[in-house]
Amino acid sequence: MLIQSLVFRCLSTRKNRLVIEFPRRLLFASFQFVSSFTAHVATEEINPSLKVPLFKEKTKLEGSKRLKLYSKILHDCASKGSLSSAKAVHGKIIKNGIDPDLHLWNSLVNAYAKRGVFGYACKVLDRMPERDVVSWAALFSGLVNEGYGYYVLDLYCSMKKDGVLPNGHCLVTALKACSLSLDLFFGTLLHGEGVKVGVLLDVFVGSSLVDLYAKCGQMELAERVFLFMDKKNVVSWNALLNGYALKGDAGKILNLFQGMTESELRCSKFTLSNVLKSCTYLVNLTWGLIAHSLVIKTGCEHDEFVGCCLLDMYSKCGLAEDTLKVFKRIQEPNIVAWSAMIDCLDEQGQIQEAAELFSLMRCKGVSPNQHTFASIAGVAANLGDRLYCEGVHACIFKHGFESEIILSNALIAMYMKIRSVQNGWRVFKEMSSWNSASWNSLLSGSHNGKTCDRGPSIFHKMLAEGFKPDICTFTSILRSCSNLLNIKFGHQVHAHIIKNGLKDNNLVGTSLIDLYAKNGFLADAELLFTQLIERDLFSWTALIAGYAQSDCSEKAIKCFNHMQRQGVTPNNFTLATCLSSCSNMAMLENGQLLHSMAIKAGNSGDMFVSSSIVDMYANCGCIEEAEAAFQGMVSTDTVSWNTMLFGYLQHRQGLKVLETFRMMLDKGLEPDEVTFIAVLSACSYMGFVNEGKEYFDSLTNVFGIVPTIKHCACMIDILGRAGKFNEVESFIKDMKVTSNPLIWETVLGACRMHGNDKLGESAAEKLFELNPGIASHYILLANIFAAKGRWEDVRRVRALMTHCGVKKEPGCSWVMVNGQVHIFRSTDGFHPKHGEIYIKLKELVEKSILAGYVPKTDHILNDVSDDEKLEQLFHHNERLALAFALISINPVKTIRIFKNLHICEDCHDFMKLVSGVIKQEIVVRDANCFHHFKSGICSCQDYC
């Protein structure tokens, strides 16, 4: 009764281990064995499928021949799974009173153990007159195969007490039991046992030791055993690979795989799947291709599991076409393969193809699971088709997954992304329970547009419900605060972040930088940036964008250069932001460097970047380069066409504006509100009154666009510049725009041009009521009075400015030389080279007078002497900038000057004449447009 009592002891307690219930079938079999077995087996026959003679002997077999026959039949029963036949053999042995030898006893134990009837096996082992290592190993093997590792270790101790020494097979089985139960202590004892009995060099024992140490996380010991093995097989390699896979050490797996390929061992599908997973994690396409070649070589290509690993590897490496080829070679792809393929197409931006594949999967009769539906919900969100999204929702409901919280969260995120906020809220409210991901999905719809203001209230409700915000929560609510420009609530969120210990998280830190930068708190943004543990591309870009949006273009460029020195590669958004800064500051050289960088990095094809390149060249006075960049764009949209239209407009190429607009319509692109501002502005300065009226009428009649204040202002400018003031007044009354400052500002500008002091004074009075703090309104009225010689009224307007605390913006011009900006103001004597500048300017005045220049002193609207007027004219800031450029810049190079105010008519004439005298192109950008002076002619056709 030794084995039976041992089994009972296993049931009750285990030293240093939790009590685990032994299988009930073993108990039942042990206690009922004696009473029922003999009667049962006497009626059994051997299963004919075993292909051995029926147990109906026609002749008596005597002695050892009979025992050998029984042993053979029992061996076949164990290997081919016939428990009833094994019982029949056992019954014959008992019924005929046969005295089994050791081999037959072992065959009985083996047959019962292999079929999982451990009660019978234990009873037989208990009745054996003598037991050897094979007897015990047979029982161990059966228990290990069924996953009962703990019990093997107790039985192993009993075997040792029985005086039986283990052999290699017995140790392998016991080590497998240790691996199953993760019993490292007992495993090390077995390791010592292996050394003692001299079987450690056996490849199977070594492989089992490697497997034990690997599964217990002792990779150093596992590798040490592995290295000391004389012979290594696929099992030992796989054991080590699996250990590193459990640790997530993908790099080590690839190193081992390299060594394995050098040893010319035949890889199994388990090896290759681990290697492919590591290649996926490391995005290592080179070793992934090597692994794929071995997959084909070993004939594992059609294996579903290996196929899914290949799918995942190619997908993560961004090779959608190769992923699809692998998918097509899987004979009967399961739902995992279909889902992986849909994920791949979605990640690679092939959302239409992903949707089509989902439809094909359903046509093939493959039922989608939760993961598939979660993926297709993301695809639907990216498609932006509301009907398709609702169809996905209906499909989830049809398959009975509507109560799954993961899918509900995916549906909320889907609806929020397509701006179907009401549907998202409905899904949220119908959920029986929420988790943090549910609230985060809801918050994802409060980033942009009209739903931004919902973010704070959702965040409040989430806290009130007792949910703890995570990284995703904080980044979402911070984005909402950024777009709302709600710095007060942002401060409160910042306090929550500190309280939750997430202030050092890079993602949260970047969102905080974006919040403070967008709200103009650049010092706080800079401080947060310096406190980041790791500054990645997104944190750099957030700070650069903050500088650019706050008109700190020089800081943006410096920050970009610093980022590059730190080895951080810019993305499309970073490049576009910096190009915008170059555009604002007219930093042509920096813009050209960024352009070349975009080409080198392969970003120039991005629509956002290419539009920024067009805008940069246009704003830097290089309209030809802007045109070339636009024509070289791979794809265009309305925004990029608008950029080109405004480029032409800035350079006073009105005919090209209208021509480009017609080309845009021919391409099938829909113009928007911005498009018509460019078109109407071009009609204005070209004097195309009738065409302007037609375009204005087409806004509503043809394109269904409601005219905005800016469109009305453009129409007033068209009429006003043509001197049609009666029509201007009628238009203002008809359109009911009398209360908008932009309208009266446009009227005032037209009155200044035509000297209409009566209407001009009326328009100015309206402006003083609506917006009294704008200096240009006072200056325009004063200039109208000055042109009429009404000096008393001029003084009255200037006194009014002083009384209202309004100050005129000082005029200045700047020019860039050798990467440095030089700023000049009228009669400026502070520049280090002011002496040389004035000498050069005097020389230019003399040469221009000889060429026919006559100073227009009537444009000096100050009540001073003619000599003082001449002095003021000759020392205007744009002329000082021109003189400095001529003494500093290569005479072949185009001179580019930038002004913050309009260029006066006299300076305009002066620049024209000088360009002919020095035979060099001069480009001046004032507050209105670009003027290209070349060979005595200006591109604006003297419309300044």
Element (H, E) at 751: helix 741-754
CA atoms of 118 and 458, how far apart (whole Å): 60
**Residue reference for tokens 């291709």:** 289
d(CA 53, CA 42): 17
Residue 221 structure tokens: 């010991």
Q: What is the pLDDT of residue 6?
A: 47
Dihedral of CA atoms 275, 279, 280, 282 in degrees, nearest 10, equals 130
Predicted pLDDT of residue 720: 94
What is the predicted pLDDT for the residue at 544?
92
What average pLDDT values come out for the chain (944 residues) when binned by 10 residues? 46 34 37 38 42 42 64 68 69 71 71 68 74 76 74 78 80 83 82 79 79 81 78 74 73 72 70 78 80 81 80 82 84 85 85 91 90 92 91 92 90 91 90 91 77 82 91 91 88 92 89 91 92 90 89 88 91 91 84 91 88 93 93 91 95 93 94 95 93 94 93 95 93 90 93 91 92 88 86 89 85 84 82 89 89 73 58 82 88 84 87 91 90 89 68
The residue among 366, 376, 384, 311 whose CA lies nearest residue 344 is 311
**Per-residue pLDDT, 113:** 67
Tokens of 501: 């210990």
Q: Could you give the CA distance from residue 287 to residue 292 in angstroms, rounded to a whole number?
A: 8
Residues 154, 59 contacting (CB under 8 angstroms): no
C-alpha torsion sign, points 110, 111, 113, 119: negative
Residue from 582, 775, 511 nearest 783 by CA:
775
pLDDT of residue 673: 94
CB–CB of 901/929 below 8 Å? no
Euclidean distance between CA atoms 582 and 570, whole angstroms: 16
Q: What is the pLDDT of residue 279?
A: 79
Note the helical H segments in 500-552: 506-518, 522-531, 537-549
- Residue 5 amino acid letter: S
Strands 937-938 and 813-817: unpaired
Give the bridge partners for 820, in sequence order. 817
SS3 924: strand
**CB-based contacts of 808, cutoff 8 Å, min separation 6:** 775, 778, 779, 801
If you ran DSSP here, which 8-state letter would residue 788 be given?
Answer: T
- Closest CA relative to residue 922, chosen from 884, 875, 866, 876: 884
| Residue 14 confidence (pLDDT) | 36
Contact criterion met (CB below 8 Å) for 329 and 307:
yes
Residue 520: per-residue pLDDT: 87
Q: Which residues pair with 924 in a beta bridge?
A: 897, 931
pLDDT of residue 450: 63
Which amino acid, 829?
Answer: G
- 75 closest CA partner among 61, 60, 85: 85
Residue-wise DSSP of 837-901: HHHHHHHHHHHHHHTT----GGG--SS--HHHHHHHHHT-HHHHHHHHHHHHS-TTSPEEEEESS
pLDDT at 359: 92
pLDDT value of position 676: 96
Paired residues of 14 in beta bridges: 17
Are 483 and 452 within 8 A, CB to CB? yes
Give, in order, the Cα–Cα distances in Å from 154 to each of 11, 73, 174, 569, 620.
11, 30, 10, 61, 85
The full DSSP string for 226-247 is HHH-SS--HHHHHHHHHHHHHH
Give the gyration radius of the chain's Cα atoms.
Answer: 43
Token pair for 170: 């017995």
> Which residues, including other chains, have CB under 8 Å from residue 413's CB and lie 6 or more apart?
377, 378, 381, 424, 441, 444
d(CA 411, CA 421): 11
DSSP assignments along 320-374, one per residue: HHHHHHHHHHSSS--HHHHHHHHHHHHHTT-HHHHHHHHHHHHHTTPPP-HHHHH
